[in-house]
Amino acid sequence: MSNKKRDSYQTSHTILSNAKVLFSKYGFSATSMDMLAEKSNINKAMIFYYFKNKQGLYEAVLVDILKDMTNIIEKNIKDISNPKEQLESFISTYATFAYKHPYFPSILLKELSTSSAVLSDILFENMQMLYKLFSHIIQAGKEQKYFYDTNPMMLYFMIIGSLNLMITTKEIRLKAAQNSDIDTCADCDIETISQYLIKKVNILLGKDDEN
Amino acid sequence: MSNKKRDSYQTSHTILSNAKVLFSKYGFSATSMDMLAEKSNINKAMIFYYFKNKQGLYEAVLVDILKDMTNIIEKNIKDISNPKEQLESFISTYATFAYKHPYFPSILLKELSTSSAVLSDILFENMQMLYKLFSHIIQAGKEQKYFYDTNPMMLYFMIIGSLNLMITTKEIRLKAAQNSDIDTCADCDIETISQYLIKKVNILLGKDDEN
Amino acid sequence: MSNKKRDSYQTSHTILSNAKVLFSKYGFSATSMDMLAEKSNINKAMIFYYFKNKQGLYEAVLVDILKDMTNIIEKNIKDISNPKEQLESFISTYATFAYKHPYFPSILLKELSTSSAVLSDILFENMQMLYKLFSHIIQAGKEQKYFYDTNPMMLYFMIIGSLNLMITTKEIRLKAAQNSDIDTCADCDIETISQYLIKKVNILLGKDDEN
Amino acid sequence: MSNKKRDSYQTSHTILSNAKVLFSKYGFSATSMDMLAEKSNINKAMIFYYFKNKQGLYEAVLVDILKDMTNIIEKNIKDISNPKEQLESFISTYATFAYKHPYFPSILLKELSTSSAVLSDILFENMQMLYKLFSHIIQAGKEQKYFYDTNPMMLYFMIIGSLNLMITTKEIRLKAAQNSDIDTCADCDIETISQYLIKKVNILLGKDDEN
DNA sequence: CATGAATGAGAGTTCATTCAT
DNA sequence: AATGAATGAACTCTCATTCAT
């Protein structure tokens, strides 16, 4: 009789993907399960049925997006052997993904800005995974004498810091550009941004002559 | 002896400074006025007496810390005429201040991660001010042929992005270093970090040979 | 046996009927949702679950009692064709209902005493409805030459004004009668009151001789 | 040095007269001492200095306006010996005063609509006073064979009920008239209203022929 | 799987009132 | 006579979570 039957996957997937958007927009606390239920067109109790509690849902969201990002980057790198090109792929893949899924930089920055060592283990590990990937590329580059010696952590934060911030501040930068004459890169598109960054990173790392 | 203090400045100052810590730790929504009142040893109603409402308090906090940071940087730069050295002062002052007041990078990142064009005007302006300061230095450097041409916005975010993240992630990086063998710059102190960053920025900008 | 009732109608009905009493006794502002919840033996949150907010509850109360009154009067009038008798029915039905549900005159007077044009539309319409009913009777009476020409609004307020006030002031009038020798109609019952009023209204309107 | 010195009378008078307006507009509970202080341009504590507490202020307001009304009516009646003309004076004076001081009908109706025998004695007495005045006129009229026998309480409420309601509902009646074709006496002025009422009361009471 | 009713804790905010100056 | 700071209780409303059906 009821046409409200959905398969389990469908429902939990809907919840998860709406949760991403809301958590990125409002943060953990300011996102209410009522909003989420309404946006997802499901009964509020279902959220608890699938995700145990709000915290559980939040972690599911974080793990999900981190896994997504890591997978894509890994896949794109797989067939490249040159560390320099791997790094370029890392940056442009990261940029493209983050741009297409703006909840990603928003949630990630929020999470990283709360200096708490109290992340759940599973989340902590997923965060590490992404950095490890980056770190290994740098390491390989050094060993193969492609790169100068450098601090991978700092470099990592310079890259993802600037990329994430460029994406999350798009609207503010636009507004700022309209109100004054300062250059806020207001209409730089993601391609321009990632190419610019790649160039700069190459300068910092590179032994090659072409700069 | 009396527990009724009659000192307007004292009370509102206490509220403000405790608010900085709490907002940076928990974010806007997760910070409750009850916590704040208790931590500040004042009556909850006084918060509203001095700051009208939670939002008002939050804005007061943001404006206050941005003004502080901007003032210190400005002061330190005043007597330097060389853009290259001005930039170095900018970075190291920023780093030192942010390190000494860890609520600053935390709150700033949280704020920048929520891409809302709906910041209060006064806050928006204060944020711009800091960037303008930076931007002018870069501009001057270019005009005096000290610097290569560069994108000031991207450079700005590379600098403050990495500085802020290094500070807010201190604990996580420590934990990560203990659990595995990856290099997370776990025991880099703020001096090392800012010197490293200065060196790299000089490479990106500099026309001079000495690096 | 279980103290968790699962009866939507029951709960919201309890809230509504207790709200009538409290709003009439204390007015809108002085009625607290805590009192109401306690009196209704329900969880405070349920009030908001069913009525959105205090204002919404208040409007629900007003609409409900006005609809009730209007319906009863309409029903009693339906089979009477003579305007004179219709008017008599209007008055005595109004009096009886108001006497049985003393929250009615109390709330109505409070509402009418705040000359705000800012009533919600739905409430405003329900108030009009009652007056329209009255107004049509008078109109019909005039057209059929039963009544002299008269001002329906003034007459309406003379009738409901005195009826409502007689009901709401019952206690004060009693007290006044005990303290002094003035006649406050202290022990007039509702029947006497409405008959008296009917007689007077007939004098004001009537062309007939029998008074 | 300070120019904030006011004489005591001035300040308390300002408070009182602003209180009248606010209490009539919002009722007792919804009127806050903060609003009142701001509107009166005085320090909130002054209200308590002059009137002890909110309740005290409210009673002062009630007594004040009732005394005012009573005095004016009494004064205007003093030189009239004919009960019929006295009654006419009562009505038109009441109407004029209530119209000029719209807080009067508003507060009075609110007060009378709360059927509580718990009025303060002084207030209760002042309310009686006005009715006694009315009552005596009727009594005299009867004794001098001017008036038919009648119920003074009912007549009193018919008169002040309709007058007060006509004044407090002015705006609603206007709005109702615009939205539909029913006659709400929307542009009856106070003179018309009181004359109409006098005519009707004379019909009800009068032995004279001229109607 | 799904729903709507229910709950209890706590959130932000207001308010009458007091008190030291 | 006047002020501004302080207080504590209360108020409206929200939220994560549970449970019977």
CATH code where residue D64 lies: 1.10.357.10
Determine, yes or no, domain membership for D211. no
Place of tokens 């908001």: C48
Residue D210 has pLDDT above 60, yes or no: no
Residue A59 has pLDDT above 80, yes or no: yes
Residue D60 has pLDDT above 50, yes or no: yes
Tokens of A61: 């969201």
Asked if C204 reaches chain D (Cβ–Cβ under 8 Å), the answer is yes
Place of tokens 């108030």: C127
% pLDDT > 90, chain C: 79
Tokens of A165: 């911030």
Instruction: Measure the CA–CA gap between B185 and A153, rounded to whole angstroms.
Output: 6
Average pLDDT, chain D: 91
Lowest mean pLDDT among B122-131, D67-76, D134-143, D154-163: B122-131
- The pLDDT assigned to B41 comes to 96
Instruction: Measure the CA–CA gap between A34 and A19, rounded to whole angstroms.
Output: 11
Nearest to C206 by CA among D200, D208, D84: D200
Average pLDDT, chain A: 90
Place of tokens 């319409």: C125
Place of tokens 């006084």: B46
Average pLDDT, chain C: 91
Residue D5 has pLDDT above 70, yes or no: no
Residue D162 has pLDDT above 80, yes or no: yes
| Confidence grade of residue A118 (pLDDT, cut at 50, 70, 90) | low
Residue C208 has pLDDT above 90, yes or no: no
Residue B146 has pLDDT above 90, yes or no: no
CA distances from C113 to C66, C139, D107 (A): 16, 27, 8
Asked if C162 reaches chain D (Cβ–Cβ under 8 Å), the answer is yes
Same domain membership, residue B47 and residue B66: no
C115 with D104: CB under 8 angstroms? no
Instruction: Measure the CA–CA gap between C50 and C53, rounded to whole angstroms.
Output: 9
Whether residue C124 and residue D176 make contact (CB cut-off 8 A), yes or no, is yes
Average pLDDT, chain B: 91
Of B33, B51, B69, the position where a domain reaches its end is: B51
CA-nearest residue to B23 within chain A is: A114
C-alpha A10: how far from its chain's center?
Answer: 24
Cα dihedral sign for D60, C33, B43, B20?
A: negative
% pLDDT > 70, chain B: 92
Whether residue D113 and residue C117 make contact (CB cut-off 8 A), yes or no, is no
Whether residue A124 and residue B175 make contact (CB cut-off 8 A), yes or no, is yes
Determine, yes or no, domain membership for C210. no
Within 13 Å and on the Cβ side, how many CA atoms surround C186? 13
- The pLDDT assigned to C105 comes to 97
Residue D211 has pLDDT above 70, yes or no: no
Determine, yes or no, domain membership for A124. yes
Of B9, B34, B51, the position where a domain reaches its end is: B51
Determine, yes or no, domain membership for C120. yes
Nearest to B116 by CA among A24, A61, A177, A97: A24
Residue D118 has pLDDT above 90, yes or no: no
Cα dihedral sign for B199, B202, B204, B207?
A: negative
Same domain membership, residue D95 and residue D20: no
Distance from CA of B100 to the nearest CA of A (A): 14
Instruction: Measure the CA–CA gap between C200 and C195, rounded to whole angstroms.
Output: 9
Same domain membership, residue D131 and residue D32: no
Question: Could you tell me which residues come within 8 angstroms of residue A131 by beta carbon, excluding any fewer than 6 positions away?
Answer: A153, A156, B176, B182, B184
A90 with A134: CB under 8 angstroms? yes
B49 with A51: CB under 8 angstroms? no
Tokens of C17: 């009927």
DSSP for C12-26, written as a single string? HHHHHHHHHHHHHHH
Tokens of C191: 């029947």
Residue C45 has pLDDT above 80, yes or no: yes
Distance from CA of D7 to the nearest CA of C (A): 34
Asked if A172 reaches chain B (Cβ–Cβ under 8 Å), the answer is yes
Instruction: Measure the CA–CA gap between A80 and A66, rounded to whole angstroms.
Output: 22
**Mean per-residue pLDDT for D148-168?**
95
Q: CA B65, B66, B72, B76: dihedral to nearest 10 degrees?
A: 160
Nearest-by-Cβ selection for B29 from A29, A135, A157: A29
Distance from CA of A46 to the nearest CA of B (A): 24
**Partners of chain D (3+ Cβ pairs below 8 A):** C
Residue A210 has pLDDT above 70, yes or no: no
- The pLDDT assigned to D46 comes to 97
Residue B181 has pLDDT above 70, yes or no: yes
Between A179 and D197, the higher pLDDT residue = D197
Between A178 and D118, the higher pLDDT residue = A178
Residue of A121, A149, A157 to mutate, interface with B, max B Cβ within 10 Å: A157
| Confidence grade of residue C6 (pLDDT, cut at 50, 70, 90) | low
Residue D2 has pLDDT above 50, yes or no: no
Determine, yes or no, domain membership for A210. no
- The pLDDT assigned to C201 comes to 95
Same domain membership, residue C193 and residue C93: yes
Instruction: Measure the CA–CA gap between B113 and B127, rounded to whole angstroms.
Output: 14
CA of C42, C1' of E18: distance in angstroms: 36
Q: How many domains does chain C have?
A: 2
Same domain membership, residue B126 and residue B23: no
DSSP D150: -
Asked if B122 reaches chain A (Cβ–Cβ under 8 Å), the answer is no
pLDDT tens, position by position, C54-101: 999 999 999 999 999 999 999 999 999 999 999 999 999 999 999 999
- The pLDDT assigned to C115 comes to 64
Same domain membership, residue B160 and residue B74: yes
Determine, yes or no, domain membership for D199. yes
Asked if B178 reaches chain A (Cβ–Cβ under 8 Å), the answer is no
Instruction: Measure the CA–CA gap between A192 and A56, rounded to whole angstroms.
Output: 37
Same domain membership, residue B199 and residue B98: yes
pLDDT tens, position by position, B157-169: 999 999 999 999 9
Determine, yes or no, domain membership for B5. yes
CA of C27, C1' of E8: distance in angstroms: 28
Tokens of C96: 């009886």
Residue B116 has pLDDT above 70, yes or no: no
Place of tokens 């290569």: B148
Amino acid at B173: R
**Mean per-residue pLDDT for D84-96?**
97
A73 with A132: CB under 8 angstroms? no
**Mean per-residue pLDDT for B3-23?**
86
Nearest-by-Cβ selection for A172 from B28, B110, B117: B117
Same domain membership, residue D11 and residue D88: no
Residue D3 has pLDDT above 60, yes or no: no
- The pLDDT assigned to A115 comes to 60
% pLDDT > 70, chain A: 92
CA of B14, C1' of E21: distance in angstroms: 22
Whether residue C172 and residue D127 make contact (CB cut-off 8 A), yes or no, is yes
Asked if B184 reaches chain A (Cβ–Cβ under 8 Å), the answer is yes
Question: Could you tell me which residues come within 8 angstroms of residue C210 by beta carbon, excluding any fewer than 6 positions away?
Answer: none
Residues of D in contact with C124 (CB under 8 A): 172, 175-176
CA of C123, C1' of E12: distance in angstroms: 30
- The pLDDT assigned to A133 comes to 95
Q: Radius of gyration of chain D from Cα atoms? A: 20
**Mean per-residue pLDDT for A8-24?**
93
CA distances from B163 to A77, A201, B169, B204, C100 (A): 28, 17, 10, 17, 75
Same domain membership, residue B186 and residue B84: yes
Q: Where are the beta strands (DSSP E) in B124-209?
A: none
% pLDDT > 90, chain B: 78
Minimum-distance residue to E15 (CA–C1'): D32
| Confidence grade of residue C117 (pLDDT, cut at 50, 70, 90) | low
CA of A39, C1' of F18: distance in angstroms: 22
Number of other CB atoms surrounding residue B101 within 10 Å: 18
Whether residue D162 and residue C158 make contact (CB cut-off 8 A), yes or no, is yes
Distance from CA of C162 to the nearest CA of D (A): 5
DSSP for C27-40, written as a single string? HHHH--HHHHHHHH
- The pLDDT assigned to D49 comes to 97
D207 with D146: CB under 8 angstroms? yes
- The pLDDT assigned to C82 comes to 93
Amino acid at D150: T
Instruction: Measure the CA–CA gap between D10 and B164, rounded to whole angstroms.
Output: 60
Instruction: Measure the CA–CA gap between D16 and D208, rounded to whole angstroms.
Output: 45
B162 with A209: CB under 8 angstroms? no
C201 with C87: CB under 8 angstroms? yes
Q: What residues 75-114 of chain A have any CB closer than 8 A to a CB of chain B?
A: 102, 105-106, 109-110, 112-114
- The pLDDT assigned to D124 comes to 85
Number of other CB atoms surrounding residue C15 within 10 Å: 24
* CATH assignment of the domain containing B29: 1.10.10.60
Same domain membership, residue B63 and residue B47: no
Whether residue B115 and residue A132 make contact (CB cut-off 8 A), yes or no, is no
Residue of D172, D179, D197, D199 to mutate, interface with C, max C Cβ within 10 Å: D172
- The pLDDT assigned to A2 comes to 42
| Confidence grade of residue A181 (pLDDT, cut at 50, 70, 90) | confident
Q: Which strand F bases fall within 7 angstroms of a protein CB?
A: 1-21
Q: Residue A52: which nucleotide is closest by CA–C1'?
A: F17
Residue of A99, A172, A188, A202 to mutate, interface with B, max B Cβ within 10 Å: A172
| Confidence grade of residue A116 (pLDDT, cut at 50, 70, 90) | low
- The pLDDT assigned to D1 comes to 40
Same domain membership, residue C72 and residue C156: yes
Whether chain A lies against chain D with 3 or more Cβ pairs closer than 8 A is no
**Mean per-residue pLDDT for B29-40?**
97
Within 13 Å and on the Cβ side, how many CA atoms surround D193? 29
Determine, yes or no, domain membership for B184. yes
Distance from CA of D50 to the nearest CA of C (A): 24
Between C119 and C164, the higher pLDDT residue = C164
Asked if C165 reaches chain D (Cβ–Cβ under 8 Å), the answer is yes
C22 with C36: CB under 8 angstroms? yes
Nearest to B150 by CA among A95, C56, A183: A183
DSSP D185: -
Its domain, for residue B104, covers 58-205
Q: Residue B48: which nucleotide is closest by CA–C1'?
A: E13
Whether chain C lies against chain D with 3 or more Cβ pairs closer than 8 A is yes
Same domain membership, residue D121 and residue D35: no
CA-nearest residue to B30 within chain A is: A29
Of C51, C66, C89, the position where a domain reaches its end is: C51
Q: Radius of gyration of chain B from Cα atoms? A: 20
